Chain A
Amino acid sequence: MSFAKTQSLLATAEKVAQKYSDSQPVGATTMPCPNKKEEKEVIKVKVVGEDGVGLGGIALLLSRGDKQVLTGKTAPDGVYAFKGLEPGSYQLSLPELDMDAWEVLETKALVGDEGKSSSVASWQSAPESNVEEEKIHVIKQGECVGKIAEVYGFFPRTIWEYGKNAELKKLRHDNMYILLEKDQVVIPTKRQKMQAIASGDQLIVQRQGVPEHLRIRFLHYDEMPRVGVPYLLSLKTAKGVLVADISSETDDKGFVDQPIPPSAVFATIILDPGPWPEVHEFNIGYTNPIDKVSGWQARLNNLGYDCGKEDGVLGPKTREAIHAFQRVKKLKETGEMDEATKRALLVLAMS
């Protein structure tokens, strides 16, 4: 999502600051001799998510034949420019990402002054390659493979399909978004790849697996979808990154379906914003697998069958909720989570 540029005091003051010299130190009595400005070239890299929106904070590494490197990090709009380059060919890598976590979408030539720069690049010796070895990640409540893949720099499927996670995959019914606290996920060794790029070019790179999608369905009491209801979605992330609120309407099946950063941990959806808003809050990724009591409780609570606290204890309130669910679904009223009830619950809860 792009925004109108801020007109804040900081933005205004930032423009005014450009009138001060960028070469004259504060308190200096002499001016540096103006160098004969030699024109050098630029390589621009833009990293976007699968939705085409720029991603900030992605580390980049540009290397040349003599093992000298330049490093950089994308700005919030996803762009970083390596300036002061000699004309020639270079190799680009994204050192914090696995090779399957990014791919080149497009290469194009920079136009006019965009491709020129008078600054000088500060090449430095390449750091010793630091291969991150395979490790085990113990799942905390609220985590799923999508979230940890962003943290470790992987495409989520690369982790989930990794041979050593086969047993977990089977245990969790191949649903990488619903894991149980203390599940162990093996994080494979990170593999690097390089992309050749010429000076004066711009490369557009796509980060795979980002953003994730949030899908929440709103139903009436009779389980009919709430269609075309205006809503405001606001998110909180684990990293404290500010996320723009989204205003839209539920779709023709009653869904709120929006791209979200994988690090989002908490969502607030305000339905019918206005004088009588309806506020719903969600801990993203907190739902446990269907074969756990806490998993039943979470799903039943979401569907309006009150189980009370999602404590994993099959108490009278949870049994009452199961009874009510079985009654409504015209199932045999046992008060137990039998296979038929579990299937019906999964169909309605959708995961």
Chain B
Amino acid sequence: MLRLSPAQMQTLAHQAREHFIADMVIHLRTYFPAVAWLLTADELRSHIITCIDRAAHYQLTSQQQVCRYLNVAAHYGWNFDSDPDLAWMQKILTDTTLMQPGERLDHLVQTCLHRQSIEEHNLALRQQLGLIPVTTTVKSEPAEDYLGPKRPAQQVQPTTEEILFRINPVGYHLSKSLWHSAESVANANKNAPNEIPWVNNSYSLLRKKDGEHYVIR
């Protein structure tokens, strides 16, 4: 019989947790690109770890439950459960009329999706009646346009008409590090005018709001 010491079990548990966190990094970057790609890997990991703990506070511990909790957090804000503007969400997560923690999570997600359906319905109706302009969309571009290689500005064209994501009117907060990186790229271009410019298409999307906060417009 193979016997595992507590230390070995601890290492295995750590490995399993790390593996799940790595999975969640990929999951969030795939399904919430507008949020996840604006964070550094460390920032994203840190949010995931915090959310695993927050989910455990609501007795949501299974992989599926934590993944669903992360989905909600990525959509509504990493601290959605302590945001006074989203008090209805915490009310659902702590409502003991629903006896199982998983039922509360189901109810929360169903309510979120229902609200989204209503928001989409109201938006579509107003667009159809000509009360508001059609939705602003951001078209997808190859990842390297955002992340790195040097190319002349005229070569940078959107390569597909597929809509990647819709701008959330509330505004996504950008990470400070990304802002600084965009700033430094712009400054570097200014200082070395003869060099091939380092193109960073994300820069045009960044707008300084005030102090430490940055939003997409």
A binding-site residues for B, Cβ under 8 Å? 3-6, 8-14, 16-18, 20-29, 56, 59, 70-73, 75-77, 122, 124, 230, 232, 234, 240, 242-245, 247, 270, 273-275, 277
Contacts and interface: CB of A to CB of B under 8 A. Distances in A.
B135 interface: no
3 A-B pairs with the lowest CB-CB distances in the bound complex, closest first = A27-B17, A76-B114, A13-B31
Contacts of A6: 113, 116-117, 120
Contacts of A20: 62-64, 67
A76 B113 CA distance: 9
Contact of A122 (B27, B64, B99): B99
Interface of B: 9, 12-14, 16-17, 20, 27, 31-32, 52, 61-68, 71-72, 74-75, 88, 95-100, 102-103, 106-107, 109-122, 125-126, 128-131, 165
B25 to A, nearest CB: 14
B32 A244 contact: no
B129 to A, nearest CB: 4
15 contacts: A3-B118, A5-B117, A9-B165, A18-B64, A25-B61, A26-B61, A26-B62, A27-B17, A27-B20, A29-B13, A71-B97, A77-B114, A232-B131, A273-B129, A275-B130
B130 A72 contact: no
A29 B63 contact: no
A27 B16 CA distance: 5
A84 B63 CA distance: 22
Contacts of B20: 26-27
B120 A8 contact: yes
Contacts of B122: 234, 244-245
Given A26-B62, A28-B13, 10 more contacts: A4-B120, A6-B117, A10-B109, A10-B112, A13-B31, A16-B27, A22-B102, A25-B61, A71-B96, A244-B121
Nearest to A273: B129
